[in-house]
């Protein structure tokens, strides 16, 4: 009899332990542990999230930052990652395999370099050059020709970049060969050199000068109106998010995007 009671007691302990283990397992699941339903929910959220990599010309930084913010609000789950640089630099990165979904160039020449890696580029804006100087224009620059005045230091974009190619076109049209103290990889770098006092003058886009506000004085020249840069945008064919990339393109080309670009000083397509 004693032995039988002992066996029953042990069985009771085992049953209690089993219930306790089951209870602990249930508590872990509901209290933040890994569960099938929790994993499925997180997996569903992860799959609904899309990162859209947009490579855009440096002169588009302010406008595309605004457009991207509006786009994210209108498309929950989409995270727009913006990369700004000279168009030539960006297209080289894409051709070398950089994970870009959308490419927006400051000229058609660099979009053409992308070749069949881009899908049906569309023009979404235009831009022209302007001279920027320190506030008050202390060197008295009045025209493109004045960039060669004695004692005037000028910075330009590299010819491979759209702003540099446009500068070269103006030089060709006017017969004036400007001797820059440096050639920069982006229009933003040119503007920075002038605002930092490292150069007396620089050639940038109208939109960059407008964004700089009181940090610079601007000087126009009739020759600039003849050289118009057209900005194309295209989905990169290797994109893994082509439908979303196409939607971003439409946001840039649509009324809201065009309104942002116009406010910044860009011309219509």
In the prediction, which pLDDT does 48 show? Answer: 61
CATH architecture of 50-124+233-263: 3-Layer(aba) Sandwich (3.40)
**CA neighbor of 187 nearest in space, from 62, 91, 53, 57:** 57
Listing from the earlier edge strand, what are the strands of the sheet with 201-205?
Answer: 182-184, 154-157, 201-205, 129-133, 217-219
Single out the residue of 143, 192, 133, 190 nearest to residue 163, CA to CA.
Answer: 190
| Superfamily (CATH H level) for 129-226 | Periplasmic binding protein-like II (3.40.190.10)
Instruction: Give the global pTM.
Output: 0.80
Contact criterion met (CB below 8 Å) for 215 and 108: no
The binding site for molybdate consists of 59, 87, 187, 205
> 52: part of which helix (H) or strand (E)?
strand 50-57
pLDDT digits (tens, 9 = 90+) for 82-115: 999 999 999 999 999 999 999 999 999 999 999 9
Consecutive sets of 10 residues in the chain, 269 residues long: mean pLDDT of each?
37 39 35 36 50 97 98 97 97 96 97 94 98 98 97 97 97 97 96 98 98 98 98 96 97 98 97
Annotated binding site: 59, 87, 187, 205
């Amino acid at each position: 009899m004693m032995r039988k009671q002992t066996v029953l007691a042990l069985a009771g302990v085992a049953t209690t332990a089993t219930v306790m283990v089951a209870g602990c397992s249930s508590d872990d699941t509901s209290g933040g542990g890994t569960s099938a339903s929790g994993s499925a929910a997180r997996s569903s959220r992860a799959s609904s999230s899309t990162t859209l990599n947009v490579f855009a010309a440096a002169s588009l930084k302010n406008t595309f930052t605004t457009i991207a913010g509006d786009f994210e609000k209108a498309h929950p789950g989409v995270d727009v990652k913006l990369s700004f640089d000279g168009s030539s630099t960006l297209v080289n990165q894409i051709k070398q395999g950089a994970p870009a979904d959308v490419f927006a160039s400051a000229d058609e020449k660099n979009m053409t370099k992308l070749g069949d890696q881009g899908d049906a580029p569309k023009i979404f804006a235009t831009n022209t050059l302007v001279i920027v100087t320190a506030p008050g224009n202390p060197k008295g620059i009045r025209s493109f020709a004045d960039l060669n005045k004695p004692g005037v230091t000028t910075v330009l974009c590299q010819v491979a970049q759209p702003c540099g190619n446009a500068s070269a076109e103006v030089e060709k049209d006017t017969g004036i060969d400007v001797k820059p103290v440096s050639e920069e990889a982006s229009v933003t770098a040119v503007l920075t050199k002038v605002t930092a006092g490292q150069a007396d003058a620089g050639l940038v886009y109208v939109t960059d000068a407008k964004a700089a506000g009181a940090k610079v004085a601007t000087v126009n020249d009739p020759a600039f109106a003849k050289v118009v840069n057209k900005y194309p945008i295209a989905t990169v064919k290797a994109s893994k998010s082509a439908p979303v990339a196409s939607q971003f393109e439409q946001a840039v080309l649509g009324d809201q995007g065009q309104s942002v670009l116009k406010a910044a000083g860009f011309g219509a397509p």
